[in-house]
């Protein structure tokens, strides 16, 4: 079974496109070309859920493969180093840029001291306080959720490798109970804050881990199975279910706290839909896989981290700088809406590519300075 699953790269490209379209739409209000597709840009924040699902898959996949092959588990020190070098330097650079260009000051909540903003972000705990949750750069809340999950993962893996279904069910139950408690205790105040922290997303991470487990156990058999084309039906069912869920939450958009409240009891279903798409596509014939594993989506996957870190900052700065030019309220100028949307996509993607190739990729090519030690104690 190959190490690189390019279908997942394609899904990562889809996820970052959804988030990019959502945040650009928030600024431009450009309606979709076909009104029946308007639910896509307005619910594009679900791309974050897809990121979390993919994290649950890819973080557990090497451990599951090693377990299935009765080989030593990946070394935790190497795991920590790779996560650190991938996440932290680019994350810190984006914070430096946000302060350097003055963007951080425009999203400050009240009179929060910058030192508190910086310290809580560097410790990845900024999502636990209202005044720091969306500070510096609003999109950074997801990095706190990711890092906190990584810190929990050794304990989760300890349970999952022994009792995968019980562990996944427990994670989903904790997430549901957490969101339910948050809604009942403080719906009008800190409900979104609490629901968007790591306990509220454990079910999404769990579905990614379960999908990886199923793929390791049954993926190679299904790929060799004569009826493998039927797996395209599984993937199509996932896409259909995802569209149904997005339309459902879109129809809820006039209600208070709709982005979070609309998925209070259904968030796990998004993970199931993602799992159906991913598992079906991974086991489907190659011609189907190429619908996701194509060069444009794989390129977006490659630059996705920096595209995510900077896209909202760049898009909002473009509006502030009147690029492209506008007078009065630009939301009533259809030509500006189109031009701004196109330019925002082009500029943010170009900027992300530059940072990725000149900063992130050279760091990732650096070898781990520590010797890689496996469970058996041998260095390689």
Q: What is the pLDDT of residue 374?
A: 46
Residue 370 has pLDDT above 70, yes or no: no
- Report the alpha-carbon distance of residue 372 to residue 380 in Å, rounded: 6
- 366: confidence class by pLDDT, cuts 50, 70, 90: confident
- 368: confidence class by pLDDT, cuts 50, 70, 90: confident
pLDDT > 90: percent of the chain: 91
pLDDT > 70: percent of the chain: 96
Residue 375 has pLDDT above 50, yes or no: no
Residue 280 has pLDDT above 60, yes or no: yes
Whether residue 263 has a cis bond before it, omega within 30° of 0: no
Residue 150 has pLDDT above 70, yes or no: yes
210 close to 156: Cβ distance less than 8 angstroms: no
C-alpha distances out from residue 36 to 32, 40, 203, 220, 267, Å: 8, 9, 30, 38, 23
Residue 379 has pLDDT above 50, yes or no: no
Closest CA to 307 of 341, 347, 338: 347
- What would the pLDDT profile of 316-339 be if each residue is shown by its tens digit? 999 999 999 999 999 999 999 999
| φ/ψ (deg, to 5) at 373 | -110, 130
54-63, 107-116, 162-171, 252-261: least confident range: 107-116
Higher pLDDT, 49 or 220: 49
- Report the alpha-carbon distance of residue 271 to residue 283 in Å, rounded: 18
Q: What is the pLDDT of residue 380?
A: 31
279 close to 211: Cβ distance less than 8 angstroms: yes
Q: What is the pLDDT of residue 4?
A: 67
Which string of DSSP letters, residue by residue, matches 97-115? HHHHTTHHHHT--TT--HH
| φ/ψ (deg, to 5) at 379 | -90, 145
- Report the alpha-carbon distance of residue 377 to residue 380 in Å, rounded: 10
Query: SS3 of 294, please?
Result: coil
232-241, 325-334, 346-355, 369-378: least confident range: 369-378
Q: Please, what's the b/e burial string for 95-107 (b: 16 or more CB within 10 A of its CB; e: otherwise)? A: bebbeeeebbeeb
Q: What is the pLDDT of residue 2?
A: 54
| Average pLDDT score, the chain | 94
Residue 253 has pLDDT above 60, yes or no: yes
- Report the alpha-carbon distance of residue 81 to residue 93 in Å, rounded: 18
Q: What is the pLDDT of residue 3?
A: 55
- 87: confidence class by pLDDT, cuts 50, 70, 90: very high
- 223: confidence class by pLDDT, cuts 50, 70, 90: confident
Residue 377 has pLDDT above 50, yes or no: no
- 376: confidence class by pLDDT, cuts 50, 70, 90: very low
The pTM of the full predicted model, rounded to 2 decimals, is 0.95
Place of tokens 């701004």: 340
Q: Which two tokens stand for residue 265?
A: 């009891």
């Amino acid at each position: 079974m190959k190490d690189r699953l390019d279908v997942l790269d394609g899904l990562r490209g889809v996820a970052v496109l959804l988030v990019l379209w959502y945040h650009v739409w928030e600024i431009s209000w450009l309606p979709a070309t076909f009104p029946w597709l308007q639910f896509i840009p307005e619910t594009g924040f679900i791309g974050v859920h897809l990121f979390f699902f993919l994290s649950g898959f890819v973080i557990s996949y090497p451990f599951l493969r090693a377990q299935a092959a009765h080989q030593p588990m990946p070394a935790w020190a190497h795991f920590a180093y790779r996560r650190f070098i991938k996440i932290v330097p680019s994350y810190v650079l984006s914070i430096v840029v946000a302060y350097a260009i003055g963007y951080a000051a425009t999203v400050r909540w009240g009179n929060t001291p910058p030192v508190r903003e910086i310290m809580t972000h560097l410790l990845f705990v900024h999502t636990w306080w209202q005044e720091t949750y969306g500070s510096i750069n609003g999109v950074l809340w997801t990095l706190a959720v990711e890092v906190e999950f990584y810190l929990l993962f050794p304990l989760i893996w300890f349970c999952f490798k022994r009792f995968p279904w019980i562990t996944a069910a427990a994670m989903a139950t904790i997430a549901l109970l957490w969101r339910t408690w948050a809604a009942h205790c403080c719906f009008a105040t800190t409900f979104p804050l609490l629901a968007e922290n790591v306990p509220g997303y454990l079910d999404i991470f769990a579905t990614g881990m379960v999908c990886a487990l199923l793929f390791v156990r049954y993926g190679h058999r299904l790929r060799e199975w004569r009826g493998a084309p039927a797996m395209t039906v599984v993937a199509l069912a996932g896409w259909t279910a995802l569209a149904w869920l997005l339309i459902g939450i879109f129809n809820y958009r006039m209600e208070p706290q709709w982005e979070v409240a609309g998925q209070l009891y259904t968030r796990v279903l998004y993970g199931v839909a993602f799992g159906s798409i991913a598992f079906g596509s991974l086991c489907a014939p190659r011609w189907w896989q190429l619908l996701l594993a194509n060069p444009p989506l794989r390129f977006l996957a490659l630059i996705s981290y920096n595209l995510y870190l900077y896209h909202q900052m760049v898009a909002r700065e473009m509006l502030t700088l009147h690029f492209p030019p506008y007078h009065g309220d630009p939301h009533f100028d259809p030509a500006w809406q189109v031009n701004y949307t196109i330019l925002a996509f082009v500029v943010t993607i170009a900027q992300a590519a530059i940072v990725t190739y000149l900063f992130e990729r050279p760091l990732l090519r650096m070898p781990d300075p520590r010797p890689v030690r496996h469970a058996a104690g041998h260095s390689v």
